[in-house]
Amino acid sequence: MSEPLGPVDAAQVPRFAGPPTFARLPRRDQVEAVDVAIVGVPFDSGVTYRPGARFGPSALRAASRLLRPYHPPLDVWPFAVQQVADCGDVACNPFDIGEAIAQIEAAADELHGAGARVMALGGDHTIALPLLRSAAKKHGPVALVHFDAHLDTWDAYFGARYTHGTPFRRAVEEGIVDTDRLTHVGIRGPLYAAEDLAEDARLGFGIINTMDVQELGPRGITDRIVERVGDAPLYVSVDIDVLDPAYAPATGTPEAGGLSSRELLAILRGLVGRRLVAADLVEVAPAYDHAEITAIAGAHVIYELVSTMGLEGTV
């Protein structure tokens, strides 16, 4: 098998030029096989407040031009130890949530079937459900580490059972996540009801809230996450609103009191050694961004996740 094809060489093509793929990586049609599939899911019809995450994949790709090929703290070349490719966008019906979910699931199935791990760029959090379904078809019920200000385990909203507020309840109901290995990280802000917490716990989730991060620091948090995940196949879902609005203004339902980007990156780095089989980064709504700071933070999160996949790939 040939060497992985990496990003365009920044010594030949300035970073503000060249292919508009994620990190200027090759497209899928340019490589033989894909180990990690970057795929855009420009869907935001499941949003309850600010829409606009349909433009998230574009913004994340633009901000990812700044990424470079070597990750010093992890000592890994994420684009060299595995073939990472930009697989374009899933075309989703913006007027039919059910059809869109089916389209996303089919696209993820195809990628998984081709041997790739999926790194999805949202889009709103609705997309986590079909992505989890597809991961579970391949790996069985997966452990979940869910970074978010919100629980996303509501039952329904305006009669709709499939929105950006419900994916993880649906996932538990469908048996596609391992209910002994479910963790929310970054929870904060007011809720509709105290019962939301009780139900969330009944579903199997543990909660690490932002004040825990304030007090324990990233290392302490990492320990708690890792203990819970163990060596199960792991899905990581990152809602960018886990960051404070100062770090991620461009998101659909911002909440004050969030994580810093440094804390988030530190915690993600603690996942090295876990069996990360798929991931998503969602809820970047670029119309609210400034100087790309949300998209840059998102691009770094994706880089971190792909690097972790690369470390496993070499094991």
Cβ–Cβ < 8 Å for 222, 267: yes
Residues 76-115 that bind its own copies (CB under 8 A): 77, 88-97, 99
Cβ-based neighbours of 53, under 8 Å, separated by 6 or more: 42, 43, 44, 47, 122, 123, 124, 251, 252, 282, 283, 284, 285
The region of 128-136, 169-177, 206-214, 221-229 touching its own copies under the rule CB under 8 A is 206-214
| Nearest distance from C-beta of residue 230 to its own copies, angstroms | 25
Cβ-based neighbours of 181, under 8 Å, separated by 6 or more: 142, 143, 144, 228, 229, 230, 232, 234
The region of 114-122, 140-148, 187-195, 220-228 touching its own copies under the rule CB under 8 A is 187-195
CB-nearer residue toward its own copies: 202 or 219: 219
Number of neighbours of residue 161 by Cβ within 10 angstroms = 14
Residue 76 in tokens:
């890994």
For tokens 């992505």, name the residue.
Answer: 131
> Does the footprint of its own copies cover residue 2 (CB under 8 A)?
no
* Amino acid at position 106, single letter: A
The region of 140-148, 177-185, 220-228, 246-254 touching its own copies under the rule CB under 8 A is 246-254
- Tell me the C-alpha distance between 148 and 131, whole Å: 17
**Nearest one of 145, 115, 117, 151 to 131, comparing CA atoms:** 117
CB-nearer residue toward its own copies: 74 or 226: 74
Cβ-based neighbours of 199, under 8 Å, separated by 6 or more: 153, 155, 169
CB-nearer residue toward its own copies: 71 or 274: 71
* Contact pattern for its own copies over residues 146 through 175, marking x by CB under 8 A: -----------xxxx--x------------
| Nearest distance from C-beta of residue 208 to its own copies, angstroms | 13
Residues 247-306 that bind its own copies (CB under 8 A): 247, 249-250, 253-258, 260-263, 265-266, 285, 287-293, 296-297, 299-301, 303
Q: Give me Rg for the CA atoms of the chain.
A: 18
Size of the site for its own copies (CB under 8 A): 104
Residue 69 in tokens:
């090929």
Largest CA distance in the chain: 57
CB-nearer residue toward its own copies: 49 or 115: 49
The region of 39-47, 138-146, 225-233, 273-281 touching its own copies under the rule CB under 8 A is 39-47
- Tell me the C-alpha distance between 32 and 83, whole Å: 9
Residues 43-62 that bind its own copies (CB under 8 A): 44-52, 54-55, 57-58, 61-62
CB-nearer residue toward its own copies: 206 or 245: 245
